[in-house]
Amino acid sequence: MEFEDLIEKQLSAHTLFEGRVINLRVDDVLLPNGKTSSREYVEHRGGAAILAVDDGGYIHLVRQFRYPYREAILEIPAGKLEKGEAPEIAAARELQEETGLVAETVEPYGVIYPSPGYTNERLYIFKASGIAKDVAHPDEDEFLNLVRIPFADALDMVLSGQIKDAKTCFAILKFANERK
């Protein structure tokens, strides 16, 4: 195995909290130097997100209040994976639920680790094209506004730091690279 000298071996696992969306864990590990330590992390089943680009070159984002940051932020539609749900199905579902858009084509864009220092979450990113309007039906505790932005403006917002959400930055930069 490559980088074997960096591997930490799990000695024990303890769940401190089991929630609806996350679990909080503390594991004891054996370090590469033979000493022991503990690793606190958030266990998450993963999520899917989707960049919707229409035929006019507009990006469809949602603005929603994110409590941990105490601000409303712009981001691509996203949500957690349901148990056993394929990421591309989850991405298409979230697009329709949050924006009322359906996609003719859903293309994989990659997997990102949003914050590997404290969570095992994997975010599966997709691009939607051939989009058409349908009916939105956000979750009952989800409040958001649909924002349609020209691609060039969205890219400028990423580069200037106005869009801060990592999955959104990744998707917009990936699309920019694709357009070269």
Query: What value does the mean pLDDT take over residues 55-80?
Result: 96
- Domain 47-178 CATH (choose: 1.10.1060.10, 3.40.50.1820, 3.40.50.300, 3.90.79.10): 3.90.79.10
Round to whole Å and give the CA distance between 98 and 138: 5
Q: CB–CB of 93/102 below 8 Å?
A: no
pLDDT at 1 over 60: no
CB 138 within 8 A of CB 174: no
**pLDDT, tens only, 134-167:** 888 888 888 999 999 999 999 999 999 999 999 9
pLDDT at residue 79, rounded to an integer: 96
Give the domain ranges of the chain.
Answer: 4-44, 47-178
Residue at 67: amino acid letter: Y
Global confidence as pTM: 0.92
Q: Which pLDDT band, with edges at 50, 70 and 90, does 105 fall under?
A: very high
Least reliable range by pLDDT among 1-10, 107-116, 159-168: 1-10
Q: Confirm whether 71 is a catalytic residue.
A: no
Determine which one of 71, 75, 140, 142 is catalytic.
Answer: 140
pLDDT higher than threshold 90 for residue 24:
yes
Whether the Cβ atoms of residue 82 and residue 90 lie closer than 8 Å to each other: yes
Which residue would you say has higher pLDDT here, 87 or 134?
Answer: 87
